[in-house]
Amino acid sequence: MTVWDRPEPPARPVPLDRERIVAAAVALADEGGLEAVSLRKVGARLNAGPMRLYGYIATKEELFDLMMDEVQAEILPAEPAGDWREALRNLAHRTRQAALRHEWLADLLGGRPAFGPNGLAVAEATLAGLDGLADVDTVMRAVETVSAYFTGAIRREITYLRAERATGLSKHDWQRASGPRMTRMLATGRFPALAKVVHDGTDVDAETSFATGLDWVLDAVAARLTPPPA
């Protein structure tokens, strides 16, 4: 019985870790959206069966948690912000950029607590930028208000982006000219104010719209952080 006769031992399975699992899941989600992420497909990318993953995660939801935290790393600013306004603005814009790179992020944003290591780091960096400017409760409210704004704004942006992609029409055109139902509804005269906005409104690009609303909110925060001189 020489070596030649004996078969090679079965290939030891490539060792796995959460990092590789999450990377595979993120890749799948980037390509096909969240619904393209199945434990079977993630496993397949790693030459593993679906059950193999259960050594690293207890449930599919946990995989989503890990994916979110992975993206938080992209949001973490490279260097501390100059002032509080820049800190909050950066947080908002970096989150938006991450969502444009990973559209599925919009589906998860605000839908689960983000308390992974990177999520905590992002929170820390943000809060550090506001430290000492007001009592903790005011600071907290400021962060929450800004976060609520950009969470909602990003979701809407991605939602319309998907709708445009699905119909091949810009939001404006789609409401105005083409959406046959929309046109018909507006023509009934039951929605005068809406009709006016759809008709006369400018089709402003998403980024400036996001930035403008953000500036408004930041102004509001400013008014509370540094109360006007008495």
Which residues lie near DNA (CB under 7 A)? 9-10, 12-13, 15-16, 37-41, 47-52, 54-55, 59-61
Q: Which of 88, 80, 128, 77 is nearest to 216 (CA)?
A: 88
Q: How far apart are CA 3 and CA 66, in angstroms?
A: 45
Least distance from its own copies to the Cβ atom of residue 179, Å: 8
Q: Does 10 bind its own copies (CB under 8 A)?
A: no
For its own copies, the binding residue among 3, 11, 14, 193 (CB under 8 A) is: 193
Residues shown for the chain: 230
Q: Which of 123, 109, 130 is nearest to 64 (CA)?
A: 109
Show the beta-strand stretches assigned E in the chain.
Answer: none
Q: What are the residue ranges of helices labelled H in 11-83?
A: 18-32, 39-45, 60-75
Q: Which of 147, 109, 148, 143 is nearest to 128 (CA)?
A: 143
Least distance from its own copies to the Cβ atom of residue 195, Å: 9
Of the pair 42, 134, the CB lying nearest its own copies is at: 134
Query: What token pair was written down for 85?
Result: 């306004």
Per partner kind, with CB cut-offs from 5 to 8 A, the member of its own copies, DNA, none near residue 113 is its own copies
Of the pair 94, 102, the CB lying nearest DNA is at: 102
User: Is the torsion defined by CA of 166, 170, 175, 181 positive or negative?
Assistant: negative
Least distance from DNA to the Cβ atom of residue 194, Å: 30
Q: Does 58 bind its own copies (CB under 8 A)?
A: no
Of the pair 97, 151, the CB lying nearest its own copies is at: 151
- The Cα angle at residue 146 between residues 140 and 149, in degrees rounded to 5: 135
Per partner kind, with CB cut-offs from 5 to 8 A, the member of its own copies, DNA, none near residue 33 is none
Q: Which spans of this chain sit near its own copies (rule: CB under 8 A)?
A: 106-107, 109-113, 115, 117, 120-121, 123-124, 127-128, 130-131, 136-137, 139-141, 144-145, 147-153, 155-156, 159-160, 163, 182, 185, 190-194, 196-197, 200-202, 204, 209, 212-213, 216-217, 219-221, 223-224
